[in-house]
Chain A
Amino acid sequence: MRDFELLVAQSRSRLLGHLAEHPEGKIVAGATDFIPLVDAGKLRPKIAIDISKVHELEGIEELAGVLRLGPLTTHARAAESSLVREQATALAEASASVADPSIRGRATLGGNICTSSPAGDSLPAFLALGAELTLASATGLRRLPIKDFLVGPGKNDLRQGEFLERIDVPLSASAGSAFYKLGRRKAMAISVVNAAAWMRIEEGHIVDIRIAMGSVAPTPVRCYRAEESIRGATIIDLKRKAADGEWLSVLRKDISPIDDVRAGGAYRRQVAVSLAERAVLRALERAEAGI
């Protein structure tokens, strides 16, 4: 593997110190993306900063109606946490779908977000859940919605000298979420298409809904036209519409899938709708069940 200088941060303050000295330093935690990317020459860091021992960046807690996730939270932790499973189900399902148990035990939510792959499994879940990121640097904190953070394939708005400090997911009662992944096999699969939906219901209406998809555009995307076609509808109307095939086909206007080694663009355009439909109906089920 191409050589680089590794700095090991033992604490948050040491991390800030390293970043201040080496603002271009590439942060590494679980290393499950980092190592293959460096090996393939797709990442050429001169300096890497290991944060796997910065314990302040771990943790899952609920505070004032917000689920606060440390970026070092592994996919395994997120999938197993009862808090995440009950309150942010789409995220638990997304994390459970990543790779295999051994990679889930090391790969982190922060890494998934900062790798910013269009196929990253937790990303549609975070988008649908309305996650907000806190980015920290020597000059202070910056907050932005995750949709503004993901700017291109493998590209994000992390500035030099910054690190991802925390991920916040707002929680609401009478909401439900779901995630589906389509891959070419049942484990160790990079998504061909993935879909997440979140909705909040009130008095028989879908008062708010978010739908996000991955592997269908340069970044994981919110499907605004699809959301608009559902927001405000009665649950009865939605269920009636859902009895027809292809009831969410307007979603095709929200996505721009390409051909790649895993699948063709036409296939993705076709199946994206089915996957999103399933995610929406499952989110509804959960909202109704009060999970």
Chain B
Amino acid sequence: MSLHAIKLKVNGCPVEATVPGSMTLLRFLRDELRLTGVKDGCAEGDCGACTVILDAKATKSCLVLAAQADGSEVTTIEGLAGESDKALHPIQEAFLEAGAVQCGYCTPGMLLTAKALLDANPHPTRDEAKVAISGNLCRCTGYAKIVEAILLAAVKLDSSGRGNA
């Protein structure tokens, strides 16, 4: 077993840790950092519940070795609201207002996928929003209100002057 000293930023905070080579980023975030907002739906890359933002890209954390995240910046759901000065990020508000949250298990992954999308593409089309979440499975909503929420979030972020990058 190899151990690796890693330094990364998680939700804006510097983190130093020693991780086994075979540990995934998902297990590191959930078990070592106790960020249980990162969900484990399959741990095999098939469902997207574990999605985080890794160096600005929506990424399935179960498919990254923790050691590979050395030097990277990770945002989990716990860090989403932290970027703005209100209690909820506009994307979180949009999901609630659009009725896009049912059981909520896919929600953290969906929110972070949406954030990464809107950061790179502030005015996505409906189709672009659908493609962005095509690796995030949802069994409750039929995706309809999640797509509406993403489009609503784009409007909210526009009108709020895009205070966050």
Q: Show the binding face of A for B, using Cβ within 8 Å.
A: 1-8, 28, 30-32, 35-36, 38-39, 48, 50, 52, 99-103, 105-106, 186-188
Contacts and interface: CB of A to CB of B under 8 A. Distances in A.
Contacts of B135: 99-103, 187-188
Contact of A106 (B24, B48, B64, B136): B64
Interface in B49-82: 51, 57-60, 62-65, 67-68, 70
A7 B58 contact: no
Q: What bracket does the count of chain B residues touching chain A fall in?
A: 20 to 34
Nearest to B42: A36
A146 B58 CA distance: 31
B46 interface: yes
A153 B22 CA distance: 25
A204 B24 CA distance: 55
Contact of A50 (B57, B63, B67, B137): B67
B103 interface: no
A32 B63 contact: yes
B43 A39 contact: yes
B134 interface: yes
Contact of A8 (B4, B44, B57, B137): B4
B57 A102 contact: yes
Interface string B1-31: 1101000000000000000111110000000
Contacts of B59: 102, 105-106
Contact of B68 (A1, A4, A31, A102): A31
A36 B44 contact: yes
A61 B159 CA distance: 41
4 interchain residue pairs of minimum CB distance: A100-B135, A6-B21, A187-B134, A5-B2
Contacts of A39: 43-44
B152 interface: no
B45 interface: yes
B131 interface: yes
B60 A102 contact: yes
14 contacts: A4-B22, A6-B21, A8-B68, A30-B63, A31-B65, A32-B60, A35-B63, A36-B63, A39-B43, A39-B44, A50-B67, A102-B60, A103-B60, A106-B59
B68 A50 contact: yes
Given A101-B135, A102-B135, 14 more contacts: A1-B22, A6-B67, A8-B68, A28-B65, A31-B63, A36-B63, A99-B135, A100-B48, A100-B135, A102-B57, A103-B135, A106-B64, A186-B134, A188-B137
A110 B150 CA distance: 34
B113 interface: yes
B121 to A, nearest CB: 11
A2 B1 CA distance: 10
B51 A5 contact: no
A28 B64 CA distance: 10
Contacts of A105: 57-59
Contacts of B43: 39
B101 interface: no
A187 B134 CA distance: 6
Contacts of A100: 48, 134-136
A6 B45 contact: no
